[in-house]
Amino acid sequence: MSAATVKGWCPGAHRPMLAADGLVVRIRPRLARLTAAQALGLCALAQRYGHGYLDLTNRANLQIRGVAEGDHLALIEALADLDLLDTDPAIESRRNILVAPFWQSGDLIHRLSIELIDQLADLPDLPAKIGFAIDTLAQPLLTRDSADIRIERAASGLILRADGAAAGRAVTEDTAIPALLEMAAWLADHLTPDHRRMAQVLAHSPLPPEWCDAPALPAAPAPQIGRQSTGSLIGAAFGQIDAEALAQVIRAQSLQAIRLTPWRMLYLEGGTLPDTDAFLTDPHDPLLRVDACPGAPYCPSSSVETRAFAKRLAPQINGTLHVSGCAKGCARKTAADLTLTGRDGRFDLIRHGTATDTPERRALSPDDILREVNTQ
């Protein structure tokens, strides 16, 4: 029987979320890496049980949408066969670990991640959204991405840093994970109903001073789509990956593995930029500046189609664009230059704000909006 739960649950493979189009099954590849066999297997599962797409999340996980409740068990068994499933659902829900995706086999990120995975059972009970970042390349890469407790490299050596703090606690490879467990216990003790993430907690509860006396390094520049020294970064518009197209790239380039990033990009290990419009291969592609949630017909809160319209609109917009199926604004919480929110089959328009801000114009059709942006 399916373990589908009410909407609002942070979905996993064991406990998917029920959406308007079926179950949303989230897969959390370990160290954000899929071997070619795993990736091809997932592509086949997305085609067999979902809509044929894999959604890349901002925590470098993948989701298969549109799964029938009656197919959940077969999908779970197939994920287990691909070694993409934790046997214990409780461990799966705790394995919120972001890794800097350019790690090498046996390096510090690899070693620390394995150690943390092995000790997940020792974490205290925490809200499902609490996450960790193992970000120990020369400069931190994941500071803009969601994590509550971070292991980073600083000028003084390794540090353990609470999200929202400008400095961290000096640690070594041997003490990093025990210190992370200690900070997680501190966080569990300081959570309140209104403060459920580390940065919120720090606003009212200062850390012990010795946990924030080693200054963090500035963030590394955001990685760009294109060739890298050992592979290629390609983009997925809205984080949506066409499973058939991905399988073709893997086979055509005889890839050994791919990596997932929290930036709506895939890293092709040893790969080149593919010649296909299924992926973004130009670092200046306007779709890189666009956020759009699934909208109708996938989300019951939406009365408007979002992504096809966002693709039409993107080349006409100079700045950032957010097309949201409703005023909840799931796809983007920060301000965009232009935000459109669906309501009763039309869009409200907000400039330089978020989906929850008061609209400047209301009840516009897609053609109204295209005319409006073309006359500016």
Binding site for ligand SF4 (CB under 6 A): 293-295, 299, 301-302, 324-326, 328-330
257 has which bridge partners?
Answer: 35
Spatial strand order in the sheet of 361-364: 290-292, 321-324, 336-343, 346-353, 361-364
CA gap 358, 54 in Å, rounded: 33
Enumerate residues 6+ apart whose C-beta is below 8 A from 345.
303, 304
- Comparing CB distances to ligand SF4, the nearer of 131 and 294 is 294
Task: Pick the closest to residue 302 from 314, 310, 290, 311 (CA basis).
Answer: 310
Q: Could you identify the residue written with the tokens 């990009």?
A: 265
Q: Could you identify the residue written with the tokens 């705790």?
A: 94
- Comparing CB distances to ligand SF4, the nearer of 82 and 355 is 355
Q: What letter does residue 98 receive in the DSSP assignment?
A: E
Closest approach, Cβ 326 to ligand SF4, in A, equals: 3
Closest approach, Cβ 272 to ligand SF4, in A, equals: 34
CA gap 274, 281 in Å, rounded: 8
- Comparing CB distances to ligand SF4, the nearer of 48 and 328 is 328
DSSP three-state, residue 331? coil
Closest approach, Cβ 310 to ligand SF4, in A, equals: 12
Closest approach, Cβ 319 to ligand SF4, in A, equals: 20
- Comparing CB distances to ligand SF4, the nearer of 190 and 328 is 328
Residue facing ligand SF4 at closest CB distance: 325
> How close are the terminal C-alpha atoms of the chain, in Å?
55
Closest approach, Cβ 183 to ligand SF4, in A, equals: 32
- Comparing CB distances to ligand SF4, the nearer of 232 and 324 is 324
Task: Pick the closest to residue 72 from 13, 20, 19, 6 (CA basis).
Answer: 13
- Comparing CB distances to ligand SF4, the nearer of 269 and 305 is 305
